[in-house]
Chain A
């Protein structure tokens, strides 16, 4: 959304009238809404969504906290620059459908982003309320409210579709970047086919993020919406293996978007890491989220009484909380820095603590020890302290000499990050790939070194967020459209 448009829309009469209904003082005096949540003791027994969503009354009141500032910084904090004041003010005046439509102008997956975006680091971190020492407007909760309201209203928004232009474009991967690209191109009249390697559509939204944080039904609703817009989904098809990039050309595809994600799990390369019972968070979460292990699926998953999860990101939090729900008695999060440096969302850290996850910060595993059958039984952890800031700006952890502890465990989940999956990039001749195995693109257009190939999401960024991936998909769609339509 351009700043000029945002200002022009702010000047519309209804917005001015709405602003006049309450003074800024009245607005800032209203306390921030609290997200209704399932009780921790109950929620660890099931897979139900923890955050229950706010009611219409709560949403209208929360929306009225927004001052509708003349220079809304929240918009600049949003990676896709959603017109945040406009959607919030629509909620305040009770036009929930218009609020949802405003979100959809910029974001193709608002119900997803309203749940998984780190708003506290993005839009909400720029809210004017913070400058006045108040809590920021709950933009994320409001986003989720508007998107959920529309989904539940039965009046699904019919997107404005350009006439079909008969041009075929292919999408490799059905995660957030691919879905957002597909939606935007379908709206522009293209004939879009999405190729997915797995047997389910949705990528990380399905295999990675657990049901209690993002229900699959939410993702499926968005996918069904794309199907209604004419997007074709092909499952079990690995581009680069089942069909090649050249095959796509032969099939008549004029443009290709790669959103194949960062699916390659990292390990720490320490002794005992290949013992049974030591696995990547990708494996653990995929078995449970995608394959239904422990929930009626035939895929097995190892269980443990004491489970250690290594890492401090959202995936680590998801793994600890999943382990709790799978019946672990004791779940220990082992992170080498302090809680302050944890990349996980504050909300996830809070939820994990409420659910009884033990935090063992400033510790790093150095070895796993197994029994005679090869099953892990013990981890040796090294105590750390914080030293000088490293390249990421965070203080780097340094081992405290001699401070080594042994802790009995029977399952270890390694959640120390992922690398881009090289399968697709390696299969395309002439494609420029970085040392980190990401696809190199022009950051403005998302075009790669191969002119008809665009890319976005984690295959370009190496490991980012749903909203950034989605933004990449949108930008790639805009620029590929310009290229294909000759504008």
Chain B
């Protein structure tokens, strides 16, 4: 049982929970995720870790309510408990000083991107972040992202905040104006697909963090398999990050849709 310490509502469907998990808080690094379960009959849901606090022994999760299980988790309040939290799972992000790193996040994807932005900044990179959402209230963690970025571009579909347009417009703007050495993208599969397509045109090495269907999250079930460079890989143990130019995003989207 892991107690919820605090809660913040980012938007109608997006909730931030700070959860007691001292061992995970200590061992996790940028890019890792956890599997949580709510209730004795609950599903195992993979969630990327947005932040951790080793002093208080907590991790921060940002959850978008999309189905019954995530709605149940989002409805929890401080003092309530998650039945299970296991992790940190997956491979941590490879962090090094590339030069200029473009970090591109869409919707709740900004939450797992934040620790990568911080780590890339700490490694001495110039970090340019592009945050995207359908509208102003879906842009999350802007303040935290700004604290660790040299520049931030905000894109909204409806133009209610920042620039009007898709995330790719923001990415292209950056690539055209300065030399980008590396790109990290996290968000909906369709967004990552087009970011990858664009950065491939400009030859910018790009890593995408995938959110696949999982049961155990430890390599046991294979529900999370994805084709990367023509080979089947398991997102849970070999990912969640892969070379975005090699990922079969269409298959990923098909698999995500088919599980609903």
Contacts and interface: CB of A to CB of B under 8 A. Distances in A.
Interface stretch (B142-150, B203-211, B212-220): B212-220
Given A238-B87, A279-B223, A280-B221, 18 more contacts: A197-B86, A238-B86, A242-B24, A242-B86, A263-B219, A265-B220, A267-B222, A273-B232, A274-B227, A274-B251, A276-B254, A276-B255, A282-B222, A287-B215, A287-B221, A297-B41, A298-B39, A298-B68
B89 A286 contact: no
Interface in A117-173: none
A298 B43 contact: yes
4 closest residue pairs by CB, A with B = A276-B258, A374-B254, A283-B221, A263-B220
A277 interface: yes
Contacts of B37: 199
30 contacts: A197-B86, A197-B216, A197-B218, A207-B220, A236-B84, A238-B218, A241-B27, A242-B27, A242-B88, A263-B219, A265-B220, A267-B225, A274-B251, A276-B257, A276-B259, A279-B223, A282-B221, A286-B220, A287-B215, A287-B221, A298-B39, A298-B69, A299-B43, A374-B255, A374-B258, A375-B258, A421-B220, A423-B218, A423-B219, A423-B237
A298 B44 CA distance: 9
Interface string A188-214: 000000000111000000010000000
A395 interface: no
A243 interface: yes
Interface in B4-55: 23-24, 27, 37, 39, 41-44
Nearest to B251: A274
A466 to B, nearest CB: 17
A374 B87 contact: no
B258 A283 contact: no
A383 B24 CA distance: 51
B219 A264 contact: yes
B160 interface: no
Band of interface residues on B: 35 or more
**At the interface, is chain A mostly helix, strand, loop or mixed?**
loop
A243 B86 contact: no
Interface residues of A, number: 40
Nearest to B68: A298
B85 interface: yes
Contacts, number: 113
Interface string A226-241: 0000000001111001
B43 A198 contact: no
B46 to A, nearest CB: 13
Interface in B240-260: 251, 254-255, 257-259
Interface of B: 23-24, 27, 37, 39, 41-44, 68-69, 83-89, 215-216, 218-223, 225-227, 232, 237, 251, 254-255, 257-259
**At the interface, is chain B mostly helix, strand, loop or mixed?**
mixed
Nearest to A197: B218
A356 interface: no
Contacts of A487: none
A291 interface: yes
A294 B68 CA distance: 16
A298 B215 contact: no
Contacts of A198: 86, 216
A296 interface: yes
Contacts of A235: 84
Interface string A306-320: 000000000000000
B258 A373 contact: yes
A282 B220 contact: yes
Contacts of B219: 263-264, 421-423
Contacts of A55: none
Interface string A95-119: 0000000000000000000000000
A239 to B, nearest CB: 11
B37 to A, nearest CB: 6
A390 interface: no
B232 A269 contact: yes
A77 interface: no
A421 B219 CA distance: 7
Contacts of A207: 220
B257 A373 contact: yes
A241 B89 CA distance: 7
Contacts of B232: 267, 269, 273-274
A299 B86 contact: no
A262 B40 CA distance: 26
A306 B251 CA distance: 24
B42 A298 contact: yes
Nearest to A277: B258
Interface in A234-293: 235-238, 241-244, 263-265, 267, 269, 273-274, 276-277, 279-280, 282-283, 286-287, 291-292
